[in-house]
Amino acid sequence: MSTSVVMKREAMMRSSLNAVSTPEAQSRLNFESALIARVVAGDHEAFADLVRPYEKMVYLSALSVLGNDADAEEVAQEAVLKAFRGLRNFRSEAKFSTWLVQIVINESKMKLRKDRRHLYESLEDGPQNDEGEYIPRDFADWRDIPSDALEQKELRQTLKMALKSLPPKYRSVLVLRDVEQLSIRETADVLGISEANVKTRLCRARLQMRDALSPGSVLE
């Protein structure tokens, strides 16, 4: 694959968040701590300022599990409300954003169990071994795509469809790590799995994205 295409895709996958330097991050943590104290003390309007920077993160986290825009919006609203009601129980040793995303993921999983619906496309028809684990296509199938082959809008739509095609356990890890840029440990805490499992699922998710985006693949 051409370097320009790789860079373009990586930039789009990470466009929702910007890198933050340590001083800025510490300043943000201090600001959030002050906002949390105000909300707990009764200043409910401060909660909007606390949550606003993470609105897109909340939505994408819900979407990564549910694979449905309408359901993701509904769960995002429910999760934010639950976070507001449970803010007194927030422990300051954790990052607020990690705590919030964990609520979103849990609420999304609860909705899936409640509805008992299958809302996502998967790569179940792809090659698997005897244990049902996904086996990526041969690397020879991953050919270069001309940088001018897709317009920006088409590329964005292709990425969205490819992401939706992933099984939810892989999609969630990919969104948390590559889009929201949570650390390995934070992702493990949010999903309730080990750091080793995060690394394994992330690797498989990236392989499946590679196959889904390769020439000749069909995304519907």
What pLDDT sits at residue 83? 93
What pLDDT sits at residue 8? 53
Res. 18: pLDDT tops 90: no
Mention the CATH class of domain 6-14+120-213. mainly alpha
Nearest to 141 by CA among 206, 203, 207, 216: 216
Res. 11: pLDDT tops 60: no
Q: pLDDT tens digits, residue range 204-217?
A: 988 888 888 776 66
Helices and strands of the chain, counted as H and E runs:
10, 0
What pLDDT sits at residue 21? 43
* Contacts of range 35-40, beta carbons closer than 8 Å, 24 or more positions apart: 36/87, 36/90, 36/92, 36/96, 39/84, 39/87, 40/87, 40/88
Res. 126: pLDDT tops 90: no
Q: Where are the domains of the chain?
A: 6-14+120-213, 22-115
3-state secondary structure of 128: strand
Res. 116: pLDDT tops 60: no
Q: pLDDT tens digits, residue range 152-183?
A: 566 667 777 888 888 888 999 988 888 888 88
Whole-angstrom Cα distance, residue 140 to residue 147?
Answer: 19
Asked if the domains at 6-14+120-213 and 22-115 fall in one CATH topology, the answer is: no
Fold annotation for 22-115: Rna Polymerase Sigma Factor; Chain: A (1.10.1740)
What pLDDT sits at residue 195? 92
Whole-angstrom Cα distance, residue 170 to residue 87?
Answer: 29
**What is the residue-wise DSSP string for 59-93?**
HHHHHHHH--HHHHHHHHHHHHHHHHHTGGG--TT
Res. 40: pLDDT tops 60: yes
Reported pTM: 0.59
Residue 207 near residue 174, CB atoms below 8 Å = no
Distances (CA, A) of 156 to 2, 10, 14, 150, 153: 18, 12, 12, 9, 5
Q: Residue 29's CB: how many other CB atoms inside 10 A?
A: 13
Residue 115 near residue 68, CB atoms below 8 Å = no
Res. 3: pLDDT tops 70: no
Nearest to 87 by CA among 25, 44, 55: 44
